[in-house]
Amino acid sequence: MSKKIVVLYASVGGGHFKAAEAIKNYIVENYPENEVEMLDALKYTNKAIDKIIINSYINMARYSPELWGEIYKLSAKQYSVANFSNSVQKLLSLKLVKYFREQKPDIIVSTHPFITEMCAVLKKKEKISSKLNVIITDYASHRFWELKPEYVDNYFVANTTTKYTMISHGIDSDKIHVTGIPISPAFFKNYHKEELYDEFNLDKTKKTVLIFGGGEYGLSNIKNFYTGLLNVDEDVQIVTIAGKRVKSQKMFRKLADASNKKVVVLGYTNKVPQLMQIADLVVSKPGGLTTTEIINSQVPFAIINPIPGQEEENANFLLNSGAAVRIFDSKNSKPFLDNLLSDNIRLENIKLMQQHIAKPQSTKDIVEILLKD
């Protein structure tokens, strides 16, 4: 029997969209008898509030990450703080009723806690009867994700630690599935490495370091990390993904031009899966989806500058698992990287632990659970 599935996300960072897109595409390609739609629910309900929320988060993450970290920690301890948006969510949820009445979904999938709460409010008021499924897109849960759990049918989480934490908060264990976080199938394809070296004008005899320095949130001390990388003793080549911000692109190119290393600076690119396959090391912030992409690509990961809160928890999970290292001091990144790049045993052990914790069937497993009833 065919089903109608609606996958909801919010454009607060790219991870929520990527997870939603992975689910939608898998259903389209493997279960074509079903109908599936994707919606930026926060933007749909109120563009003005959506802009305020997104800009507030971006500005805190970029300019006052410690403030965001304090809000995150406080809300993890007190439901009253996590509920600060409750009245807003109730108001916005009413706009979603119109959409649900038009679409008549059997299944709702949410990849953002604000949207989850909106849908839970509607279920509580008996405005909708669809099954509500939640994909937690980081490596730890948070009270924001866990509001009104009695109206959620399934939670999909990255690891067993998250599951046991949620159980300790009173959530029914039968609702929590340790599937991993869904990512694009492009990260599981095998690419012709020789062609990639030619495409990006790289030397196949040198180690390749891939650094993510862009993103809408920026990195306050990325210049220090990058300078350290450019000055490492080993003759590595560096692929820099600077993102869409023109200011970031100019900064990276200026530093790269002054270096004696072979450096490729890219803006936005859709070739990340391919670049990860030829990388010997990735340097990046530990966003939930980026972390999952790196783990499944099994490339050594050096964490830089996680935003306090969910990214800090992602970093802690990786470090405790032996699946990454972290550069704590941006001004001393050169000696750290010199040591890491020369230690092949350590690099191989990181890849081995990534293989141990990776869940390459995550998207398939989630969709099968969604459609099983």
Q: Which of 269, 262, 307 is nearest to 286 (CA)?
A: 307
Q: How far apart are CA 139 and CA 151, in angstroms?
A: 22
Place of tokens 């499924």: 133
255-260: Cβ within 8 A, 24+ apart? 255/223, 255/226, 255/227, 255/230, 256/230, 259/230, 259/231
Give per-residue pLDDT as tens, 284-313: 999 999 999 999 999 999 999 898 888 999
**Would you give the DSSP letter of residue 51?**
H
Beta-carbon contacts of residue 130 (< 8 Å; ≥ 6 apart): 6, 100, 105, 106, 107, 108, 119, 123
Give per-residue pLDDT as tens, 230-280: 999 999 999 999 988 888 899 999 999 999 999 999 998 999 999 999 999
Q: How far apart are CA 179 and CA 361, in angstroms?
A: 8
Residues in the chain: 373
Q: How is residue 158 written in tokens?
A: 């990255």
Neighbours of 33 (CB within 10 A): 8
Give per-residue pLDDT as tens, 167-191: 999 999 999 999 999 999 999 999 9
Domains and CATH numbers, the chain: 4-182 (3.40.50.2000), 186-357 (3.40.50.2000)
Q: How far apart are CA 368 and CA 373, in angstroms?
A: 9
Give per-residue pLDDT as tens, 126-178: 999 999 999 999 999 877 788 889 999 999 999 999 999 999 999 999 999 99
Please list the alpha-helical segments (H only) found in 104-188.
113-124, 160-168
- How much is the pLDDT for 91? 56
Q: Are 133 and 370 in contact (CB under 8 A)?
A: yes
Q: Are 236 and 261 in contact (CB under 8 A)?
A: yes
The model's confidence at residue 121, banded by pLDDT at 50, 70 and 90, is: confident
Give per-residue pLDDT as tens, 42-73: 788 765 444 544 454 444 445 455 544 444 45
Q: Which of 56, 52, 13, 68 is nearest to 307 (CA)?
A: 68
Amino acid at 349: N
The model's confidence at residue 1, banded by pLDDT at 50, 70 and 90, is: confident
The model's confidence at residue 15, banded by pLDDT at 50, 70 and 90, is: confident
Burial class (CB in 10 A: 0-12, 13-18, 19+), 178: middle
Q: How far apart are CA 224 and CA 327, in angstroms?
A: 11
